[in-house]
Structure formats: structure tokens, C-alpha cells
Structure 1
Amino acid sequence: MRGEKDFSTRDLPYRIRRAEEADAEKLVKVRLQIDGETENMDREHGEDYIDSLGFKELIKADEEAKHNLFLVAEVGSDIVGFSRCAGSHLQRMAHQIEFGVGVRRDFWGHGIGKNLLRESISWAEANKIVKMTLRVLETNSAAIQLYQKLGFEIEGVLKMDKLLSDGEFYDTILMARFNFA
């Protein structure tokens, strides 16, 4: 993705663009918020904390890496979501990337996650990425349906992969989208 792209869904205008080092402090806050709003993420609130300097380093590294993409979604001057595609520098794995996304709960239902994914798919296709993978909790049926609608298929299941607050174990679904064009 080059530059930025404007969207409007259900009377909410927002913009998707590449992350910049200046976004670091806002990303610290939005990541903490998202992790505390849902159990669909891998982390509990505050776990695997990344500070402002850590985000700056990550964004800089992603800008320099051929197969990485870090996007943010903005409403006004607020970052309300982000996504990241992470690839490998290893030749045997350079054809694939892993996608991850997070959107603040108060902005769910506006297509922000879907459009972050669509922009990432377009970028992957333009960069001749053959395989795009993601992981999704088995209980997140809305996300699974969206991923399938956008061409992802189930590749496998990690049984008893997550222990949630109810004390129960849940499976993680492994999904992939293949770009052979």
C-alpha cells in the first residue's frame, strides 16, 4: 500500500495508511486498550508490552523489510486499529506472510478490520506473496466467516491452544489465502 486511503462506513469516515514512527505513542495506548477488550487476541491486557521506543523500532524495521507491512486506521487524529503483515528474510519462507489485526471495540462494525485486511491482501498480491496466513480463535465465528469470504481456507487446528478467563481451553484455527496470479 502506498500513501493512504479514505473510507466511510455507516457514517464513520476513517483513513488507512502505513504506520509512521510518529504513531508510536498512540500505538502503545491502542494496543493496550484492544488487548483488554476481547479474548480474541493472544495477549492479556498489559502482556508482552511494547513501549513507544519499541514501536518506533518495529515500524522502522517494517519499512526496511521487503515482506512486512504495518498499517493503521485513523478516525480524525486517533488511531482506532492496526494490522501487520510479517514475513521472513529466509529464502525458503520468503513467499509467505502472517497477518494480524486489532480494532478498538467501540469501532467494531464499521468495516475497519475488513478494510485493513483488504489493503493487506492487495499489498501481498502486488508484492507477489504466494501465501498469507493468520490465526483465529475458534469462538470468533464472525472473523472466520469474513476470512473465508475473502478467500482464506482452514489449513489446520491447534487443539487446546488458548486458556481463557473461563478456565477452559480453546482451539486456534490456522487459515491461509493463496495468491497464484
Structure 2
Amino acid sequence: MDWSIKRQNNNNIRKSISYKTKHEEFPKLKSYIDRGKPVVLGLVCSLNIKDICNNHQVVAYGYDLDLKNKTIVIYIYDSNIPNKEILLEIDKDFNINESNGQRWNGFFVQDYHFKHPRYQDLIITRNNEISSLGKIYTIENIGQFPANLKYIKLTDIQNNNILLPKQKIIL
């Protein structure tokens, strides 16, 4: 929220969104990506606290830094545009434009660390049944909030059904 109430052209340039993005957040992003770790970014478009819902989260997984032209391209996954590579293009004045046309005032690296959930909704179990063909597995829906069985299936690389709920498979 702190980022959404900052001003782009603050009298104190060190507190502006552009300054913080360029001098504080991009080095963090670069460090993570250089170590092979994707980064969750908070993208800031709103300069008004009432419009904070217009901000967005993406995952950055690469960048190109052009020192001669002072430009940066950040490769992101945007869940609003699945299965398409999206770019954040940053010019020498640190204007940030997404390749789909969206303009951003800045970004910040979010402190995200993967954690396994304490619960499981779906599990694949190995049955104790004996088969001359191999091991037998079953999908079980054990979660507190069960998934809709109608939409649960396991497919192979050709998208053929391998296993449907309550059905057994031999591997």
C-alpha cells in the first residue's frame, strides 16, 4: 500500500516510485534472477489509494539489460494472459510499459518463499492389490473442501485420459 500512495514526481526524488524501482527494486530482481530464482513482482499503476485494486502481481523469470541504450526488458508470467510471454519494457527514463499495452509506474520485489500447504486435497495412492501388469494407483479426494470430481483427471502427453476419480491405473 505504501507504494500506491507515493508520488511519481515527489519533491524528494529518492522517495519517488521511479527512483525506488530503479535503485532499490531492480537490483533485488536482478540478484534473484541471476541466481536462477523467479521473482514475484508487485506492479504499481495506481497513484491513488482508492485505486489500489488496479495494481497487479506477476512472476519475473528473466531480464535483458542494454547498458548502451540504458533500457531493460523483464520477462514475466502474467496470470491474466496465460501461455504468452509478456515483457516489461523499461526505457532510459524508467518508464515501464508492458508488451500488452499496460503502463506501470513502478514495481517492487515481493518477499515470497514457497511453502507446502499443510493440507492435501488430492492424493495419488498406491493400492496393495497385486497385478501382474504393475503397480496400481488411485486418485483420492481427501480435502476439507473437495474438488469437483467432474473436473479431475490425469492425462498423458497426447491428452488421453489415464486416470479419472475412483478409477484405478496400473503402472
Give 1 or 2 for the bigger CA radius of gyration. 2
Pick the TM interval, shorter chain: under 0.3
Relative to the length of structure 2, the TM-score reads 0.24
Task: Point out the structure with the larger helix share.
Answer: 1
TM-score by length of 1: 0.23
